[in-house]
Amino acid sequence: MENSFPVQEIHEGRAKIITPRLDLFRGSGETYRPRLTPVFYNPKMKLNRDLSILLANTMNKMLNRDLNICEPLSGTGVMGIRYALECRVKKIVLNDISSIAYQFIKRNVKLNNIEDIAQVYNEDASILLLKLASKKLKFDIIDIDPFGSPVEFIEPALKALRNKGILCVTATDLIPLCGIKIEACERKYLGKPLKSYYCREIALRLLINMINTKALQHSILIEPLISYVYEHYIRTYLRIFRGALKANKALKMRGIIMHCFKCDFRIIVEGMVVYKEKCPYCNGELTYSGPLWIGPIVSRDFCVNMIQNNEELNLENKKKISKLLNTLLEESTLPPTFYNVDYICSKIKKKPPKTRDIIHSLQKLNYEAGPTHIDPKGFKTNAPINVIKDVINKL
Ligand SMILES: C[S@@+](CC[C@H](N)C(=O)[O-])C[C@H]1O[C@@H](n2cnc3c(N)ncnc32)[C@H](O)[C@@H]1O
């Protein structure tokens, strides 16, 4: 393969990967800008890739067999090649629409000696997934990692997944999802975002609801296993179950969040009807967000398995992953949305106490309360806003 640009070899996990020379692609401020490179590689996504390796290993253990995995938006191939080298894999399908990326993937597959289990394509991801599904080639894991929104790839991926397979989905279009471009979000995610301090949790719930809407149409139930926000992206891992009766359960997971910007009250309403009343605490206007996923976004049992397996694997981001998963475990049974200590304290004119102290005080009053991985100054609770303010005032 001849390149018109210089390349380098990097090492990530057990993989050796040829990438364009990263130091040649800097934006203003001298920071590396992966979108400027002829083939995409972002070292900042290593944590995401480590977590995916952990998930696939967890699945290996649960199923006690090798997996068929498809990564239809591969870039250099780093994720797919790592799956092949660091998990028990029967077949790995890698693909990219860019012909330069395709050349890099082929070269990297050869460099890592996985030609016997790897299939490499140069197609549109949706078309490839539909072709593979029509040949009855179904996958245990499909990993969708696009530029921006994953919307267009969801239905083809659902078709190409095995029953009980896992769909991994990243979204980086946080500008619409966090309420800066409302119409773009409504168009793509079929729900209204909320420009609030907890907008990134709303973003996750809008993403999952969009996937649920498509899954329901194909009589598929989705079960979120792990969902998180990290730096510039959100990511969810969902297990799917085929069957209309099973899928019906997810009809109840769609809802609306009503929020009062005056006093920070919010309420989660099941169903698609917008709540018209005024805020019951301050009589302020209520703003709605949704429809979005109001069910759990993390499976407690799966999270426990991941935490145990993380101790056994020696991933580069082991400590960060352990911290993230342990916080997700605490969050897993708590209600949607969270409160921000600084915001509430600015409203009640009080010096902010420690987040942990607020959580303990609420728990002492028999409310559910715990942290959120999204915001170190955030906490989740089922206590009403007046109780939260009383508790903070007394600290
Ligand atoms: C964010 S990058 C993938 C990064 C990769 N997963 C990793 O871990 O490094 C998205 C890739 O999708 C490719 N792409 C964009 N649209 C596509 C499409 N419709 N079908 C297939 N590939 C596509 C781009 O060329 C790009 O390489």
List the residue whose alpha carbon is closest to atom 17 of ligand 1.
97
Q: What is the pLDDT of residue 206?
A: 98
Lining ligand 1 with CB less than 6 A are 40-41, 45, 49, 72-76, 78-79, 95-98, 101, 124-125, 145-147
Nearest CA to ligand 1 atom 8: 79
| Nearest of 48, 45, 56 to residue 84 by alpha carbon | 56
Burial class (CB in 10 A: 0-12, 13-18, 19+), 45: buried
Give the separation between CA 43 and CA 353, rounded to whole angstroms.
36
What pLDDT, on a 0 to 100 scale, did the predictor assign at position 277? Answer: 83
Atom of ligand 1 nearest to the CA of 147: 1
Sign of torsion over alpha carbons 231, 232, 238, 244: positive
Q: The tokens 């040829």 sit on which residue?
A: 18
Interstrand relation of 7-12 and 15-20 (parallel, antiparallel or unpaired): antiparallel
Interval between CA 351 and ligand 1 midpoint (Å): 46
**For ligand 1, atom 10: residue with the closest CA:** 146
Residue 292 CA: distances (Å) to CA of 204, 205, 268, 299, 381: 9, 5, 10, 18, 19
Q: In this structure, how many other beta carbons lie within 10 angstroms of the beta carbon of residue 11? A: 8
- Report how far ligand 1's centroid is from the alpha carbon of 268 (Å): 36
Q: Write down the pLDDT at residue 94.
A: 98
Place of tokens 């297990």: 239
What token pair was written down for 280?
A: 């019951």
Q: Rounded to the nearest whole angstrom, what is the distance from the C-alpha of residue 355 to the centroid of ligand 1?
A: 39
pLDDT at 38: 83
Q: Per the structure block, which two tokens stand in for 54?
A: 């952990």
Instruction: Give the residue, by CA position, lying nearest to ligand 1 atom 13.
Output: 73
Give CA–CA dist 199/318, Å, rounded.
Answer: 28
A 10 A CB-CB count for 317 gives 18
Instruction: State the pLDDT at residue 21.
Output: 87
The residue ranges of every structural domain in the chain are: 9-251, 341-395
Q: Which helix (H) or strand (E) holds 269?
A: strand 266-270
State the CATH class of domain 9-251: alpha beta
CA neighbor of 166 nearest in space, from 78, 235, 244: 235
47, 74, 129: residue to mutate for ligand 1 pocket, most atoms within 8 A of CB: 74
Ligand 1 atom with the shortest distance to the CA of 48:
8
pLDDT at 278: 94
Establish whether the linkage from the previous residue to 34 is cis, with ω within 30° of 0. Answer: no
Tens digit of pLDDT at every position of the chain (395 positions): 556 788 999 999 999 999 988 777 677 666 767 777 889 999 989 999 999 999 999 999 999 999 999 999 999 999 999 999 999 999 999 999 999 999 999 999 999 999 999 999 999 999 999 999 998 779 999 999 999 999 999 999 999 999 999 999 999 999 999 999 999 999 999 999 999 999 999 999 999 999 999 999 999 999 999 999 998 899 999 999 999 999 999 999 999 999 999 999 999 999 987 767 899 999 999 999 999 999 999 999 999 999 999 999 999 999 999 999 999 999 999 999 999 999 999 999 999 999 999 999 999 999 999 999 999 999 999 999 999 999 999 99
Helix (H, G, I), strand (E, B) or coil at 19: strand
User: Considering only CA atoms, which residue is closest to atom 19 of ligand 1?
Assistant: 124
- Which atom of ligand 1 is found nearest the CA of 98? 25
Q: How close is the Cα of 3 to the center of ligand 1, in Å?
A: 19
**341-395 classified as CATH 3.30.56.70:** yes
DSSP secondary structure code for residue 169 in this structure:
E
Residue among 17, 40, 230 to mutate when testing ligand 1 (max atoms within 8 A of CB): 40
Domain 9-251 shares a fold with domain 341-395: no
Q: How far is the CA of 71 from the centre of ligand 1 (A)?
A: 9
Here the ipTM equals 0.99
Compute the Cα dihedral for 360, 362, 367, 373 and give only its sign.
Answer: negative
